[in-house]
Structure 1
Amino acid sequence: MRAPTAGARARDFARARAWVLRITTLARRYGVRWLLLTRWQKVPEEAVVVDWSPRTGEVPARIAP
């Protein structure tokens, strides 16, 4: 298997950053205080990971007000 190219890495980073911005915008708009993330989703900067499930990989995170 070949290593990802610089363009693919940049595209993955942009995709992940766009997801975080979308979640942050929705949380502010609707007053969300908690997120339940999968192990593959990035945690927004203003969120704090509270726990982690080794069985399912779910990550509950609290968003600072």
Structure 2
Amino acid sequence: MNQIAAAPLPVTEPATLERWLTGPRFAALPARTAALPAPALSFEFFPPKTDSLEAQLWTCVRRL
């Protein structure tokens, strides 16, 4: 059986992990005006399984 070794493809963009670690998280939000009100955001939380996770949940809720 003949096996042909293909040349590796050139890497033109950073690896996924590097891009995730160094790239922007969110695009900038547009300035608020009467025509563009503040965006509505929603969050979903699941019931905590331990007392420490419940404390962490309420800390997060207060921060939001």
Normalised by the size of structure 1, how large is the TM-score?
A: 0.25
State the structure with bigger RCO (CA 8 A, min sep 6), 1 or 2: 1
More strand by share: 1
Report the TM-score, using the length of structure 2 for normalisation.
0.25
